[in-house]
Structure 1
Amino acid sequence: MAVGQTPMQPGLLSSTAGFCEGRLAPNSIYAVLHRECRALFPDEMFVDLFAEDGRRSVPPMIVAVVMVLQRLEGLSDREAVERFAFDVRWKYAAGGLDFDHPGFVHTVLVDMRARLAASARPNRIFERTVEVAAQAGLVGRRRVLDSAPIYDAVATQDTITLIRSAIRGLLRAADHGLRAELRAVISSGDAYSGTAKPAIDWTDAAEREALVDSRARDGYALLAMLEGRSLESGVAEAARLLATVLGQDLEQDGEVFKIARKVARDRVISTVDPEARHGHKTVRRAFDGYKGHVAEDPDSEVITATEVTAGNVGDAEPAAELLADVLQPPAPDERAEDERAEVYGDAAYGTGPLLAELAEADVAVMVKVQAANAPGGRFSKDAFIVDVQAGQVTCPNQVTVPIRPHSDGGGQARFGAVCVTCPLAAQCTTAKNGRVITITPHEEHLAQGRARSADPAWLAVYRATRPKVERKIAHLMRRRHGGRRARVRGRAKIAADFALLAAAVNVARLGMLGIMSAGRGKWAIAAG
């Protein structure tokens, strides 16, 4: 299929431009796309996705506009193509097309997403919005980080459902001959052909335990039969998933397999979407699925980077990828050489490794660090003088002990017997062996961060800037489906969908800021 070309001259009497102009606000997303769509998402931007000859595709610029509006409005593929066919604003946004411009089937959107995913630049629509904002001088070297839960698009499965589903997936992945061999070692009598749970008395603990044991034995028998064999990739992947499910939820009590009385740290919660995880946004707020991470320029409120991780990944882990543009020194032709980058984040980003990386890149750290605390109102770690250079710690009673180093660069300072006779012991510790102060590999950065976070002047700047990203998160998550809840399955697809949503929000923001093409690939902000 060859790349299609967007019509350049709509009909004089049938164009949607004459109807919509004056009826839509000039800074609306429809108006900004109408004015700038050909420069923003030109057909040439997608030429690598298509062959040099063949049947012409739907013009990629039109498809890109539809994809942006679809994500902004939280529509399914069928709803989006229907909106393009009958909503005059959408044809106006696509360059002022004629009222009777032909629509297209929803599989065009499916095909475009697949082509983008297989390309070298899968997020080019989002990247284009950031590039345009940067050329217009809207992207500086200040960043604010935040994340939000993205609920998965599948149901969280219990242990029995997980085991049966994993076995069913293995049988489905095997060819006819291997499937027959696998079925021959199943001893429970379960056909594993449907999703319904076996019919037992679920109020009877003995029956529940027997069910778990029998299905676990089926699973381990299948894995034992496959051990040492050369397997096709699909079968090997299904076997690994089954092994993970069995290992995470079960323990052996004598000769019987039972559900373990603990939750595995990286527990698979669904065989339909094996990458989804249990997550916590706060101590009391749990969710199942993924986290969407963003970096925002707080001055223009343009999203500069996005990332999606499993729900159990800490906020600080993808921060380096989100900040890749400011962790490098600015190009001389982009910004003044003396402009220093700044990074803002709440306490979830106040981890030692990230603080150290920011300091090494000479970034102004505006990241909150959780204050040290101790149970019962006793002396916190901040009441001790930690001298990493000298390798010692001094307690509030002015007793100094050496730091015993660990191989990771951290260590421990043990006060031991001196705590027994210390007059401040009741205010410090109840441990029989005395107070122990743990030193992390990045202790100096954490201590500096805690001191900054208690400074009123620093807090005033922090509170004036960081909340801006929360408003942007609200823009991204304002719709339940397609925002707060994923529309697709798998981290890669969700990441692409989240980046496209960020692109749509960026285009809307650029419209509010008055973005305009200045010719020759340059962009500017309209005066006034």
Structure 2
Amino acid sequence: MIAAAIRSMYSGKRQPPLPVRVRDELGELFADAEFAAAFAVEGKPGWSPGRLALITVLQRVENLTDRQAAETVRADLSWKYVLGLALDDPGFDASVLSEFRTRVVAHGLEEKALDLLLAKLAGKGLIGAGGKMRTDSTHVISAVRDLNRLELAGECVRAALEAISAADPGWISRVLELPGWAERYRARIDSWRLPSSQTRREELARAYGADGYALVEAVYAPFSPLWLRNLPAVQALRVMLIQNYVRVTDRKGREVVKRRRPLEDGGEGLPPGRSRLTSPYDTDARWAAKGDDFFWNGYKVHISETCHTTNDVDTVDEAAERENISLGQAIAPPNLITNVATTDATVPDVTMTEKVHQHLRRRGLLPREHYVDSGYASAELIVGAGEVYGLTLVTPVLLDHSPQARAQSGYDRTSFTVDWANQQVTCPRGQTSASWSPCRQRGSDAIVVTFSTTSCRPCPVRALCTTSSRERRQLTLHPRPIEQALQAARAEQTSRQWQDKYKIRAGVEGTVRQAIAVTGLRRARYRGIAKVHLEHVFSAVALNLIRLDAWWNNQPLDRGRTSHLARLELAELALTA
């Protein structure tokens, strides 16, 4: 009945909506068997996990809440068609979607939806190994409130008290009798104004620390149930206390709780940002900075997609022949997202390059050329990408940052001649190095080359070569293959041909913008990196379906609005021409 209604509704020139197109072109996208590991085989039958996965994707396509998605399943005919539901199907409660996501995360199936879609598209010849891909990252703001150190301390104590009170309502009254606790932790710490006086703020901070230690000691006491200490809020409180407080003995022999101070202030030191807790409700989120004026609390998402140019004719002709589609469609196939990776906000991009390649190899989608910005690249990765994965990492490498290179005067690295066979370096004045010392620097192999003081000290151009107090020049080299690849990349990226080729990388910025505008990728809906990553995977699947739908219908992906003023300007230009 629904299929007949859909056929009659879209039998003419009217184009079917995305859900109808997806069903007609791809058939059953997510089979129940693919999610069987997350669901029991006994008990009361539940909703189809394959349908719930597809609903979650369509939810991202239209940026709906769980309640809105559940209502759309009941009311929208196109959704019933793609899900294979009967016209009188009553749907489900919105909480089923949350339970589905929890099960998928608990069983490590976050990548399953994207894997299934890419496998389906690979079978249709719309995607495959080789070609070009590009990757970029953007920041994601966590789904918790931003807290300063004082608010974090108080909120961690309050969250632990709330969790314990919900789990064992009588435990607090039986064990703890501390004055002022109910008044101090009745409301969220950030819901009332903190003292403006620095002295009173320090007093409040010490009170939060003392209360936190008293609560943790009571929870870990022999008379308390063992399961209390396993509550996530209690564990978050323990981490906060370790990171922000120390207990010391004063002159009278009493134990005193005090806040940690940075090392530069003569204090005990604070943990690095990559491990510092920012909220008791999302223990995976981290504070990070980009530049001097941008800070955020949350995550980063790395998006990889295919990118085609008009020169990719061979691949296009093959796809057209396999799918029996018009060459007009095949000339500009849609750029499809092939991988998404989620990290906390402090993880640098360069650490993700290898992991992205591993995921692409697992899916059988390694590109021939991978375009990334300089944040993803290093000399070791450029060489390793070719040796291990057989691809070319197209990226601008960092230039020589020695004082001589920055000043563009004197003798930089390129002024020295390296004799790899004899392990010697010759300076521009003809002097040879005195030592050649292989070593490890920041986890990578390196070679430190040093010239002798007797050669450098009397040199008339020493001021152009080194500013070292030891009056001798020292060079740090990569191993030979890496050093030669680095120098070749630096020389190549100065050519106009390479710069024109690299322009294709900028297109991934549009994908990031689309992900933010369509699926709300900028702000996380859920807490915890596992669920945030699941959200990003479903968003990637949604964006791929949007692009495929536009391609199937021969429509431009994003048609910008032309303002009235711009139209007048275009009209005037046409008249003058």
Q: Cα offset for 1:180? A: 6.5
Map 1:491-506; keep pairs closer than 5 Å: 491-506=529-544
In 2, distance between residues paired with 1:391 and 1:179?
Answer: 71
In 2, distance between residues paired with 1:223 and 1:438?
Answer: 50
Contact 2:382 2:392 in 1 (8 A): no
In 2, distance between residues paired with 1:484 and 1:19?
Answer: 36
Match of 1:274 in 2: 283
List per-residue Cα deviations over 1:57-97 (Å, max 9, x = no partner). Answer: 444454333222211222111122223333444345445x6
In 1, distance between residues paired with 2:546 and 2:29?
Answer: 13
Bigger shift: residues 185-194 or 136-145: 185-194
Q: Report which of the two structures shows the higher radius of gyration computed on alpha carbons.
A: 2
In 1, distance between residues paired with 2:190 and 2:552?
Answer: 57
Contact 1:146 1:295 in 2 (8 A): yes
Q: Cα offset for 1:284? A: 4.8
Match of 1:29 among 18, 39, 60: 18
Q: Cα offset for 1:373? A: 1.9
Aligned length: 494
Match of 1:508 among 541, 546, 554: 546
In 2, distance between residues paired with 1:318 and 1:176?
Answer: 45
Q: Does 1:265 align with 2:273?
A: yes
Map 1:289-368; keep pairs closer than 5 Å: 289-299=298-308, 300-324=334-358, 327=361, 341-361=368-388, 362-368=390-396
In 2, distance between residues paired with 1:329 and 1:111?
Answer: 28
Q: Cα offset for 1:494? A: 0.4
Map 1:461-480; keep pairs closer than 5 Å: 461-463=501-503, 465-479=504-518
Q: TM-score, normalised by structure 1?
A: 0.79
Bigger shift: residues 149-158 or 377-386: 377-386
Q: Cα offset for 1:485? A: 0.7
Match of 1:215 in 2: 208
Contact 2:233 2:280 in 1 (8 A): no
In 2, distance between residues paired with 1:328 and 1:57?
Answer: 32
Contact 2:368 2:392 in 1 (8 A): yes
In 2, distance between residues paired with 1:374 and 1:18?
Answer: 71
List per-residue Cα deviations over 1:252-290 (Å, max 9, x = no partner). Answer: 899573452477332222221111112345565432210
Indicate how the Cα distance of structure 1 residues 219 and 454 shifts in structure 2: closer, same or farther if over 3 A, else same. Answer: farther
SS in structure 2 at match of 1:437: strand
Alpha-carbon RMSD across the aligned residues, in angstroms, is 3.9
Contact 1:186 1:221 in 2 (8 A): no
In 2, distance between residues paired with 1:186 and 1:433?
Answer: 64
Q: Does 1:127 align with 2:135?
A: no
Match of 2:398 among 346, 367, 370: 370
Q: State the one-letter code of the partner of 1:500.
A: F
Match of 2:149 in 1: 159
Q: State the one-letter code of the partner of 1:195.
A: R
Q: State the one-letter code of the partner of 1:10.
A: I
Q: Does 1:432 align with 2:465?
A: no
SS in structure 2 at match of 1:316: helix
Q: State the one-letter code of the partner of 1:265.
A: G
Match of 1:113 among 101, 105, 110: 101
Match of 2:9 in 1: 19
Match of 2:236 in 1: 241
In 2, distance between residues paired with 1:24 and 1:312?
Answer: 48
List per-residue Cα deviations over 1:484-515 (Å, max 9, x = no partner). Answer: 11111110000011000101111222334449
Match of 1:82 in 2: 71
Indicate how the Cα distance of structure 1 residues 198 and 80 shifts in structure 2: closer, same or farther if over 3 A, else same. Answer: closer
Contact 2:352 2:376 in 1 (8 A): no
Match of 1:145 in 2: 135
Contact 1:223 1:239 in 2 (8 A): yes
Match of 2:526 among 488, 498, 512: 488
Bigger shift: residues 181-190 or 302-311: 181-190
In 2, distance between residues paired with 1:329 and 1:123?
Answer: 11
In 2, distance between residues paired with 1:374 and 1:43?
Answer: 58
Q: State the one-letter code of the partner of 2:449.
A: A
SS in structure 2 at match of 1:145: strand
Indicate how the Cα distance of structure 1 residues 459 and 220 shifts in structure 2: closer, same or farther if over 3 A, else same. Answer: same
Q: State the one-letter code of the partner of 1:490.
A: G
Contact 1:295 1:323 in 2 (8 A): no
Match of 1:405 in 2: 438
Contact 1:373 1:380 in 2 (8 A): no
Q: Cα offset for 1:390? A: 5.0
Contact 1:144 1:296 in 2 (8 A): yes
Match of 1:195 in 2: 188
List per-residue Cα deviations over 1:185-215 (Å, max 9, x = no partner). Answer: 8999975443236989733222222222333
Indicate how the Cα distance of structure 1 residues 60 and 329 shifts in structure 2: closer, same or farther if over 3 A, else same. Answer: closer
Q: Cα offset for 1:146? A: 1.4
Match of 1:39 in 2: 28
Indicate how the Cα distance of structure 1 residues 195 and 51 shifts in structure 2: closer, same or farther if over 3 A, else same. Answer: closer
SS in structure 1 at match of 2:537: helix
List per-residue Cα deviations over 1:144-182 (Å, max 9, x = no partner). Answer: 221111111111211112112223344455557875697
Contact 2:3 2:81 in 1 (8 A): no
Match of 1:6 in 2: none
In 2, distance between residues paired with 1:209 and 1:387?
Answer: 62
Indicate how the Cα distance of structure 1 residues 42 and 425 shifts in structure 2: closer, same or farther if over 3 A, else same. Answer: same
SS in structure 1 at match of 2:337: strand
In 2, distance between residues paired with 1:357 and 1:35?
Answer: 42
In 2, distance between residues paired with 1:188 and 1:98?
Answer: 56
In 1, distance between residues paired with 2:75 and 2:461?
Answer: 77
Indicate how the Cα distance of structure 1 residues 513 and 390 shifts in structure 2: closer, same or farther if over 3 A, else same. Answer: farther
Q: TM-score, normalised by structure 2?
A: 0.73
Q: Cα offset for 1:41? A: 2.9
Q: State the one-letter code of the partner of 2:497.
A: A
Contact 2:67 2:94 in 1 (8 A): yes
Match of 1:453 in 2: 493
Match of 1:523 in 2: none
Indicate how the Cα distance of structure 1 residues 366 and 197 shifts in structure 2: closer, same or farther if over 3 A, else same. Answer: closer
List per-residue Cα deviations over 1:238-261 (Å, max 9, x = no partner). Answer: 555334323444578995734524
Map 1:512-527; keep pairs closer than 5 Å: 512-514=550-552
Indicate how the Cα distance of structure 1 residues 46 and 207 shifts in structure 2: closer, same or farther if over 3 A, else same. Answer: closer
Match of 2:53 in 1: 64
Indicate how the Cα distance of structure 1 residues 17 and 208 shifts in structure 2: closer, same or farther if over 3 A, else same. Answer: same
SS in structure 1 at match of 2:279: coil
Q: Cα offset for 1:345? A: 1.0
SS in structure 2 at match of 1:373: coil
Q: Does 1:73 align with 2:62?
A: yes
List per-residue Cα deviations over 1:364-417 (Å, max 9, x = no partner). Answer: 221331212235515554554566665444445454433433245324334574
Match of 1:526 in 2: none
